[in-house]
Chain A
């Protein structure tokens, strides 16, 4: 894992002091709210419905036990004993008071964390695959480059007042677990014809009011030129992205309106100037950063597999957990474990301070002191010995964190919705709770298999509804919450935006509507091995439309 040196430490300390000064000036009136708002947002501080909300970055989703314990401490000390993990590998606290925020930032700085650029019209937290550095299907660990991008983008003087927010996601694996096609820039590790590893660059993806799948702007950019290439894209966007309409200000609109070829040409022109300049990444610097992400000292273990089938008979909940919540590891005898933050009836992504402390203990004891936050709002223990799985599971059971539902219908991505969010039009958490209750039977979930439900409480799509196999979008119509259902979305390398099949439903009618979709799928799938999304692609909208709205 990356460790701050004196420079990094001084940087977050100076930033914390600067923010404290900004708060102080807001209190004296030297800054009015219009002047203060962009500043506090750039430091992750929102004003939501009931209170402030502080969003803290977990850069590229990686943290250690000490950092997780600090999050628990913050939850306990300044908040209400819990935090909410988000789709962009951040954590949000819903109840901090303005005067406490500088103290929270100082506490964070003491464990090498910050909330820099977790909001605002700037380059946001760089996100990546939650299994980075551990996954068996990985070409390269993306985190050293992600760390370099974090540094490059932190308080970038040219790109702090962009037309709109700017999100970068990257993956070093062949399977896209970071939704890179739905980011302003997506980076996919790839190998050139000469065998050199570099990056495929995708641009103009995004969700929100105008969902778009990113387009490939460059098939290969070597490490050494990546920063210059990204700076070129950002400069073109900063200069020519629309600023006249907030809803058309993302780079996806610029790419859409001007055309990929035109944008590519502008970026290439800029890149011709910047390439080979000060942003050229020296190999020794990449090597230096890479050393921080060295593989842990793995033990050579005799047992490298676990007999899931047997465990499913002996201890069905444990067996199901093994079946769903493990991810193949590059090191024999190890796996990555997904800790589900999606208990039946819970708020997706929430964890209490006690749970956070317990997870920190597990990381220390069983996962080389490493933790990950996934964009699906779960926590990952990336490096767990197969032989430690029973102990890990037992500890998770004690904390109510042992749901074996990763990737299943109850593993719902869900935004805070109208219960917390100032932008939302409808609630989303109660709906997620209702759906998890409806589909709580493990047998039923197993029968359904892989199915991703994603819920947003407004068109801004923080809950990624567009790319849910089943997506749910809350809207308000004449004082009533209505939910529009989309089907067929996919956030992976097979990127697709879900289809709207018809009118919305009132909240009470949604669980049954979802069940009808599920039943239609089960009835028409070729076999239990054909997942929902595959069946939908094969069958098309019609059967599902009929399931929702009948034949009329």
Chain B
């Protein structure tokens, strides 16, 4: 699971606020008076003890403009994740100049974390939560943990999930989060930008409405939720640095269980199931059923997005053998654990056709079949059966780990009699 705990020890500075009462504070300002809210926070509540975190995204300029109005020396932290669009980095410079921001501080991820967890630079693809964690949560945490509060650019209408957002929030560890734009709608933002002639993010006009790191941001369609372009297809809505109203950590994946077991742990699954009616030419992060792929081969091969292939019992994997490299993941469907056709499909894919991407088991994936699946080359498992999950997490699968028959590519011959007798490769 995500570990979003901002560092454990924090100073307590809430006495003033406690006396004041969060409710009364929230009633003090006009809904649209973002600058008033910010001024109250910076000058009255937490002078010298508050900062702002900005993504320098499409809408960031509104809040930054308010900062410039209130105190241009207020620390503005920018999460330099290393994954930003070049346009975003240019925009940081533009706004510094245009607004006269004197204290923009770039926060970089810990290079040792990057080396350890994301050496290949593709963590965003396999485990976006962990990517956010090392590139955003950790660096930010190190910087803001000592502060009494910070300013966010969250808006009430930014996504459906956020619900009622107040101007001031008290976190569980008695710190204050300030949301000057809490009552702003998209129209309010647009109007504000127009009114003050603020420079747009260079990508805004190209259809990007909510801009984060380059790999996880896509164009939002007309009428779509602005944040729909973030982590599109990843079942992820928040990057993990926001806190909810009660101060509990807003776990972006909390509502959705982690079902994908891979490399020894359950991780966020960037894929969502294929749905009847999905467009093979435009789909992304879904496993296209093999028959659909065969019927729409050209469209799928021209589709620029990451895609998987779904192999169900009865499907002939040999029909796709020349196109397997197109797929970052192949899902072997076991509609019932008693249907063993998937084992043959898996072996053919790995042993005969040399498929090297993620091979996952989906469907009725249970404890006692996992070792067979592994032997046949399956490396990831979408598991919904709770006792099976538990056994996987605890490393308590009941298995026979020495094998009579040579199968797959992950077994090593034993001793001086390599025929038949095998053992699993460690951690395979």
Contact = CB atoms under 8 A, between A and B. Distances in A.
Do A and B touch each other in the complex, judged by CB within 8 A? Answer: yes
A14 B424 CA distance: 14
B372 A18 contact: no
Contacts of A159: 340, 343
A151 B402 CA distance: 12
Interface in B395-417: 398-408, 414, 417
A151 B340 contact: no
B372 A160 contact: yes
Contact of B387 (A7, A25, A148, A157): A25
Contacts of B421: 7
Given A38-B338, A151-B420, A273-B352, A10 B402 contact: yes
B340 A161 contact: yes
A156 B404 CA distance: 8
Interface in A249-304: 273, 278-279, 281-282, 285, 288
Contact of A155 (B313, B367, B398, B403): B403
B403 A162 contact: no
A44 to B, nearest CB: 16
B407 A158 contact: yes
Query: Interface size for chain B: under 10, 10 to 19, 20 to 34, or 35 or more residues?
Result: 35 or more
Contact of B371 (A10, A31, A157): A157
Residue among A10, A15, A161 facing the most chain B CB atoms (10 A cut-off): A161
Contacts of A239: 341, 344-345
A56 B398 CA distance: 22
Interface string B347-381: 10000100000000000001111011101100000
A124 to B, nearest CB: 15
Contacts of B387: 25, 30-31
Contact of A121 (B338, B347, B404): B338
A281 B405 CA distance: 12
Interface in A159-206: 159-162
A10 B414 CA distance: 13
A25 B367 contact: yes
Range for the number of chain A residues in contact with chain B: 35 or more
A7 B366 CA distance: 27
A380 B290 CA distance: 54
Given A273-B352, A281-B419, A161 B337 contact: yes
Contact of B406 (A17, A160, A278): A278
B157 to A, nearest CB: 45
A159 B372 CA distance: 9
Nearest to B316: A239
B390 to A, nearest CB: 8
A22 interface: yes
Interface in A1-48: 7, 10-11, 14-15, 17-18, 21-22, 25, 30-31, 35, 38-39
Nearest to B413: A278
A14 B375 CA distance: 16
A251 B182 CA distance: 68
Interface string A389-414: 00000000000000000000000000
A238 B376 contact: no
A39 B368 contact: yes
Interface in B28-84: none
Contacts of B279: none
Which of B337, B344, B406, B407 has the most CB atoms of chain A within a 10 A radius of its CB? B344
A152 interface: yes
A158 B404 contact: no
Contacts of A14: 399-402
A152 B400 contact: no
B1 to A, nearest CB: 22
A157 B366 contact: no
B87 interface: no
Interface string A133-163: 0000000000000001001111111111110
B339 interface: yes
A243 interface: yes
A161 B352 contact: no
Residue of B368, B402, B408, B417 with most chain A CB atoms under a 10 A cut-off: B368
A154 B375 CA distance: 14
A235 interface: yes
Interface string B312-348: 0100000000000000000000000111110111010
A490 to B, nearest CB: 34
Contacts of A161: 337-340, 343, 369
A205 B423 CA distance: 35
A152 B420 contact: yes
Nearest to A29: B387
A11 B371 CA distance: 15
Nearest to A234: B344
Contacts of B407: 156-158
A37 to B, nearest CB: 9
Contacts of B399: 14, 18
Given A7-B421, A22-B368, A151 B405 contact: yes
A22 B337 CA distance: 15
A120 to B, nearest CB: 10
B398 A7 contact: no
Given A152-B420, A243-B313, A18 B414 contact: no
Contacts of A160: 340, 343, 372
Among A7, A238, A273, A279, find the residue whose CB has the most chain B CB atoms closer than 10 A.
A7
Contacts of A154: 404-405
B419 A155 contact: no
A162 B402 contact: no
Interface string A361-381: 000000000000000000000
Contacts of A151: 404-405, 420
A235 B344 contact: yes
A39 B371 CA distance: 14
B404 A11 contact: yes
Nearest to A269: B318
Interface string A56-94: 000000000000000000000000000000000000000
B334 to A, nearest CB: 9
B51 to A, nearest CB: 49
Interface string B79-120: 000000000000000000000000000000000000000000
B260 to A, nearest CB: 21
From A148, A152, A158, A273, name the one whose CB has the most chain B CB atoms within 10 angstroms: A158
A301 to B, nearest CB: 38
A162 B405 CA distance: 17
A267 to B, nearest CB: 14
Nearest to A288: B417
A18 B343 contact: no
Task: Report which residue of B371, B404, B407 has the largest number of chain A beta carbons within 10 angstroms of its beta carbon.
Answer: B404
A115 B344 CA distance: 25
Contacts of A155: 372, 400, 403-404
B399 to A, nearest CB: 6
B405 A156 contact: yes
A334 to B, nearest CB: 33
Contacts of B373: 157
Contact of B340 (A30, A162, A278, A281): A162
Contacts of B313: 243
B376 A152 contact: no
Contacts of A17: 398
A161 B366 CA distance: 13
Contacts of A35: 337, 366, 368
A267 B376 CA distance: 20
Nearest to A280: B419
Interface of A: 7, 10-11, 14-15, 17-18, 21-22, 25, 30-31, 35, 38-39, 121, 148, 151-162, 235, 238-239, 243, 273, 278-279, 281-282, 285, 288
| 7 cross-chain pairs, A with B, having the tightest CB-CB distances, nearest first | A161-B340, A21-B398, A30-B387, A157-B372, A157-B375, A278-B406, A151-B404
Given A7-B414, A22-B368, A38-B338, 7 more contacts: A14-B401, A22-B398, A30-B367, A121-B340, A152-B405, A157-B403, A161-B369
12 contacts: A14-B402, A18-B398, A39-B368, A151-B405, A152-B405, A155-B372, A155-B403, A158-B344, A158-B376, A160-B343, A239-B344, A285-B417
